[in-house]
Structure 1
Amino acid sequence: MQADTLVEQEDQVDAAQAPTQQEEAPATPEAPATTEAPAPKPAKAKATKSTAKKTRTVELTLTVTGTADGEWQADLVHGTKRVVQGLSISAAAVSKAAKELHEDIAGGIDEVIEAARAQHRTRMEELEAELAKVKAALAELSE
């Protein structure tokens, strides 16, 4: 057993002292780098013409503005050209158009129109009260 251990130790010492194969090999000059030709570019696929019709888009911008008094105006722009500016439109037309577009749009516009109606009713009641006072004053002067 001691002989085996002794042989192993000698092998380890020999391995540590022995030069590696890389060190033993004589230095050889590096082989010149071979230049590879650039890889050929893949051929472009031919674009096939589509038989589908191209859709032409038209940019129209319709802006509808309203006041709390219930006055509505429309502006229409085609691309960058103003077609209509400040066109007066009725609240009924706005409400009808909004209902045709979408119920969510109609709901928002109807709220604004209803607020304007309420404001006009209040103003009408005030004017009717004032008219009644003027009629009463006129009646007193006539007697």
Structure 2
Amino acid sequence: MSPTTEDKPADQPVEAAEKAVPAETAAAPTESTPAPAKRGRKPGSTARKTRTVELTLTVTGTLDGEWQAELSHSGSRVVQGLAIPAAAVSRAAAELHEDISKAIESVLDVAREQHQARLAELEEELTKVKQALADLQEG
């Protein structure tokens, strides 16, 4: 609402009353004056800045089925050479993520196949040894 001559104080001239600007309007930046840069999060960002913890778990295994774990925290080793069973590796991978579980299970499947092949060889050899022992006992 613009001031009219009836709204103006009697001791002010008409021109001065029209030039008077409320304090809240005077403090607001105009189109020609850029707003000062604000500190803090960017507009639109709802992410909170959080502290991160860096832990590195390294699991290594051999074809013989021996698995070990190492844990590092921010570059320094916390645990080194800890023996763990293959079943624990499989369970942990399943808990972490499906993609991790698939990758580890494929490695474990290869190891299982190799152990089954070795078992078949040993059973065949055991059969031969038993037969040789039986031949020696008959004679």
Question: In which range does the TM-score fall when normalised by the shorter chain?
Answer: 0.5 to 0.7
Amino acid at match of 2:135: E
Cα RMSD over matched residues?
Answer: 2.3
What corresponds to 2:126 in structure 1?
131
Contact kept? 1:68, 1:112, Cα under 8 Å: no
- TM-score normalized by structure 1? 0.61
The unaligned stretches of length 5 or more in structure 1 are: 1-43
In 2, Cα distance between equivalents of 1:66 and 1:84: 16
Aligned residues: 98
Q: CA deviation at 1:71?
A: 1.9
What corresponds to 2:91 in structure 1?
96
Given the alignment of the two structures, is residue 63 of structure 1 paired with residue 55 of structure 2, yes or no?
no
Percent identity among equivalent residues? Answer: 67
In 1, Cα distance between equivalents of 2:39 and 2:129: 85
What corresponds to 1:110 in structure 2?
105
Cα distance per residue 1:31-53 (max 9 Å; x no partner): xxxxxxxxxxxxx87968xxxx9
What corresponds to 1:120 in structure 2?
115
Higher RCO (CA < 8 A, seq sep 6+): 1
In 2, Cα distance between equivalents of 1:105 and 1:54: 28
Q: CA deviation at 1:55?
A: 3.4
Q: Which runs of 4+ in 1 moved over 3 A?
A: 44-48, 53-56
Identify the structure with the greater helix proportion: 1
Q: CA deviation at 1:63?
A: 0.6
In 2, Cα distance between equivalents of 1:107 and 1:79: 28
SS of match in other structure, 1:76 = strand
The unaligned stretches of length 5 or more in structure 2 are: 1-35, 41-47
SS of match in other structure, 1:57 = coil
In 1, Cα distance between equivalents of 2:66 and 2:80: 15
Q: Which has the larger radius of gyration?
A: 1
